[in-house]
Amino acid sequence: MSDRPPVAFIGTGVMGRSMAGHIMAAGHPLHVFNRTKDKAKALLDAGAHWHSSAARAAEQADIVITMLGFPYDVEQTYLAADGLVERARAGALLIDMTTSSPPLAKRIFEAASAKGLHALDAPVSGGDVGAREAKLVIMAGGDAVAFERARPILSLLGKNLALHGPAGSGQHCKMANQIACAVGMVAWCEALAYAKRAGLDPARVHGSISGGAAGSWAMTHLGPRALNGDFAPGFYVKHIRKDIGIAIESAEEMGLELPGLDCARILYARVAANGWEEFGTQVLYRLYTAL
């Protein structure tokens, strides 16, 4: 019998399955639900417990973590009549690690508090590689007591942890991250497209510029994938488009113009129009090679 608190993990996709695996490997009894059961198979084979709904998994756990796709999924999972807020154990800690809407994070926090539950919004950065290597950056919003309670679990997933303020603050920090990522994707794709058009070897140019002032995590890790024609998703186009939309909406509410991000929005809309929404974000480079 484990002395570690049981954890429910909802959403075992590209990143979630690795994150849940680290938690189970640390000795926590793991209860899982995913809309597609096959995506949880490796966890189930390793000893995780399957449940037929998110709510049923939550009933078995002291800590509930969600890693979902879109704000709509988060809202339904937490706030529906049969959702996590209604069905979680008394005193449970709810941690939403989805990149979602700051106002929705506040609503979840308020609903959870009214039920005697604790809630954090704690989106992450690092993609599939960061999830596999337990090197995610975790940006949290909520109260300090809940954050400290979550710290041992979050530390299994990454070492760069920060509480940025009250509910919704983690999502605002993630929006800042996504703005930098989305605009940065445009930058390195244009740089390598320029190099190719100039008759240079883009891979050799990448080797020269990725370690200097122009470098970034995305250029270092996603540039080679794009140059090799590997557009498998570490982070989906459909998800970066969702994040861009949230960031632009939030910026408009604050009276802030983000012309660089608007450029990225237009370009990723063209990527989607080509039918590439299920690819990784590095498929943006493919758009330039077709010009």
Task: Give residue 14's pLDDT.
Answer: 85
Q: What φ, ψ does residue 280 adopt, rounded to 5°?
A: -75, 160
DSSP codes, 25-91: HTT--EEEE-SSGGGGHHHHHTTPEE-SSHHHHHTT-SEEEE--SSHHHHHHHHHSTTSHHHHSPTT
Mean pLDDT rounded to a whole number for the chain: 96
Q: State yes or no: pLDDT of 255 exceeds 90.
A: yes
Check pLDDT > 90 for residue 277: yes
pLDDT of 291 reads 62
Q: Which residue has the higher pLDDT, 69 or 29?
A: 29
Q: What integer pLDDT is reported at residue 192 of this predicted model? A: 97
The radius of gyration of the chain from alpha carbons, rounded to an integer in Å, stands at: 20
pLDDT of residue 1 exceeding 90, the answer is: no
Q: Is the pLDDT of residue 78 over 90?
A: yes
Residue among 110, 99, 106 at smallest CA distance from 138: 99
* Residue 235: per-residue pLDDT: 86
Residue extents of the structural domains in the chain: 7-167, 172-289
Q: What is the distance between the alpha carbons of residues 115 and 125, in angstroms, rounded to a whole number?
A: 30
CA–CA dist 95, 64 (Å, integer): 6
| Per-residue pLDDT, 92 | 98
pLDDT, mean of residues 165-181: 97
Fold of 7-167: Rossmann fold (3.40.50)
Supply the pLDDT for residue 57: 97
pLDDT of residue 129: 87
The answer on pLDDT for 2 being more than 80 is no
Would you state the pLDDT for residue 90?
A: 95
pLDDT tens column, 174-233: 999 999 999 999 999 999 999 999 999 999 999 999 999 999 989 999 999 999 999 999
Q: Do the domains 172-289 and 7-167 match in fold? A: no
pLDDT above 90: percentage of residues in the chain: 94
pLDDT of residue 234: 84
Structure tokens at 97: 């690690």
| Span 116-132, average pLDDT | 94
Catalytic (active-site) positions: 174
- The architecture (CATH level 2) of 172-289 comes to Orthogonal Bundle (1.10)
Is the pLDDT at 83 greater than 60? The verdict is yes
Mean pLDDT calculated for residue range 224-253: 95
Cα-based distances in Å from 41 to 120, 156, 183, 201: 28, 21, 36, 42
What is the average pLDDT across 128-152? 96
